[in-house]
Structure 1
Amino acid sequence: MSGNTSNSGLESQAKRDPHGDFKAVESSRPKFDQEATWKYTKNIDPGWKPGSGANNASWKDHRKVEVDPYGEGRSHVDNYKLLISGITPRFIGFISTVSKDGTTRNLAPFSYTTVVNHDPPIFCIGFSGGKGSHKDTCKNLLETGELTINVISEWFIEAANYTCTNAPYGVDEWKLSGLTPIVSKKVRPAHVAESAFSIEAKLIHSHEWTSKTDPTRATGTLCIVEGVNFHVREDIANDKLNMLDISALKPVGRLGGITYSRTMQGFEMTRPVYDEDKVKEILN
């Protein structure tokens, strides 16, 4: 996410990096296991029955604490840190845009990104900062109405992460990261060659948020966009081009602070079919 006063201010207040010397901490950790492969396991409790509740009782040992997001002494930064550490893992939308005059390219990751509909394909993207302090990506998107959304995978996470440096507007993150642009077909912004799944998209609606404690201060912008063209890597997609192989996609997600996640293990659960006879005793 390219630098601006809003983003830099939030980052300095949030202090997401808890380490005084991150490189020293990182050097003490085991190496990244590039040989690890995706695997399926059984469900946590294959014998679970309707009405059984949680699969263990450890939750009973702890109580929930109520948190008023607007309580006395609580800041918006507290809410930010709580939300990004609790709503996890989050998909990272790696977004490519161009300026209105076409002279400036921008590439940055945003974890306030998600798909919300498939017909038509609709995505929502949240940007912190409002009028006068928009992130470069948001500014470009609002002015041009076009972008690409790219999935981040393990093989280029370092390059993707480097694009969120606090560079001034106009600096080309494509060059800083060393990533490869591919010309899109239906929008002006390029999509990322290294990404196994990219979406060309167009803006259909935006909404600006204001602070509850100071209604004069714009705090964020929601952009709703429609996917108008897809690009998938041939070895990761099936023959019908309607499913991607998670073991080959190796998506990277966002957790709290400066932590990322990898997807290496999963279990399957069938969607239950309602059986009135089986649940009769539970409901009565």
Structure 2
Amino acid sequence: MLFIDPENAPGFKRTLFNAIVAPRPIGWISTMSPEGQVNLAPFSHFNLVSTAPPVVMFSCNAPADRHEKDTITNVRATGEFVTNLVTWELRDLMNISSLDAPYGTDEFELAGLEKAQSQKVRPPRVARSPASMECKLLRIVEIEPQGPGDTVSNVVFGRVVGIHLDPAFVEPNGRFDVARTLLTRLGGNQYASVGPLVELSRPSPRRD
């Protein structure tokens, strides 16, 4: 068995860690500055935290050219953001929106994406996304560098205050059609859609 010490393995986080904890859903986060400038960026460190209350999280490391990403700056200032589901068909436009553009750049316009108005928050939604969640900031947890090569990481927790669903992706039984929509992040620059699905019922307690 190969053993790796993360503190003494250069490049461990990106080359191995991300690939081990995969696949990961992508949170396509739209935010707005207090002045009304819109930002859109994808985050593969994104997931559900709680269902009651409904809470999601996303996190990112500080970029090399500034102290934090525009998304974090906007969320700190306004306390609002929207998560938009990325589908296989939207993969190229999502990738365009990941460009390290100057602060104030509208990635919606950069990628040619139509905006849709939200109901309870100011940031717009991605109109073509089959599922968007409007969120209010709960807290931001800062993970400080622990050693050489580490950067500051900010973990954002938001309470979902509104959900937009495209009816075309809601099955008759009320389930959301994950297999037909979800794009996931693997290791490096690898992405994938959802493969075959299998249902496993939780085992019942044994009664003698």
Fold match (TM-score > 0.5)? yes
Matched to 1:207, the amino acid is: V
- The answer on 1:139 being equivalent to 2:73 is yes
Q: Partners of 1:186 and 1:264 in 2: how far apart?
A: 34
For the 8 Å contact 1:94–1:152, the answer to whether it is kept is: yes
After superposition, where does 1:184-263 map in structure 2 within 5 Å? 184-213=118-147, 219-238=152-171, 242-248=174-180, 250-263=181-194
* Aligned residue pair count: 206
**Is the contact made by 1:148 and 1:198 (CA closer than 8 Å) also made in structure 2?**
yes
CA displacement, residues 188-228 of structure 1 (integer Å, 9 cap, x when unaligned): 000111000100001111111111126xx751111111100
How far did 1:112 drift? 0.5
2: distance between equivalents of 1:239 and 1:172? 37
2:41 and 2:55 map into 1 onto residues whose CA distance is: 20
Aligned residues with identical type, % of pairs: 31
- Partner of 2:57: helix, strand, or coil? strand
Runs of 4+ with deviation above 4 angstroms: none
Which stretch shifts more, 224-233 or 265-274?
A: 265-274
Residue 53 of structure 2 corresponds to which residue in structure 1?
Answer: 120
Residue in structure 2 matching 1:160, options 91, 94, 97: 94
Distance 1:222 1:197, change over 3 A: same
Higher helix fraction (1 or 2): 1
Whole-Å Cα distance in 1 between the matches of residues 43 and 51 of structure 2?
20
**Counterpart amino acid of residue 53 in structure 2:** P
The runs of 5 or more residues in structure 2 that have no matched partner are none
TM-score by length of 2: 0.92
SS at match of 1:265: coil
TM-score between both structures, scaled by the size of structure 1: 0.68
> Residues 88-107 of structure 1: matches in 2 within 5 Å?
88-102=22-36, 104-107=37-40
2:195 and 2:2 map into 1 onto residues whose CA distance is 32
Amino acid aligned to 2:84: N
User: Tell me, what secondary structure is at the counterpart of 1:127?
Assistant: strand
Residue 208 of structure 1 contacts residue 218 of structure 1 at CA under 8 Å; is this kept in 2? Answer: no
Q: Which runs of 5+ in 1 are unaligned?
A: 1-63, 278-284
Structure 2 residue 198 is matched with structure 1 residue 267: yes
**Cα offset for 1:239?**
5.6
Counterpart contact for 2:32–2:74, Cα < 8 Å: yes
1:120-141 CA-partner distances (Å, limit 9, x unpaired): 11011111118x5111111111
**8 Å Cα contact 2:135-2:159 kept in structure 1:** yes
Distance in 2 between residues matched to 1:181 and 1:265, nearest whole Å: 32
The structure where strand makes up a greater share of residues is 2
SS in 2 for 1:67: coil
**Distance of 2:2 and 2:207 partners within structure 1:** 37
CA distance in 2, matches of 1:121, 1:81: 32
User: Aligned equivalents of 1:179 and 1:136: distance in 2?
Assistant: 19
CA drift at 1:258? 0.5
Task: Give the number of the structure whose alpha-carbon radius of gyration is greater.
Answer: 1
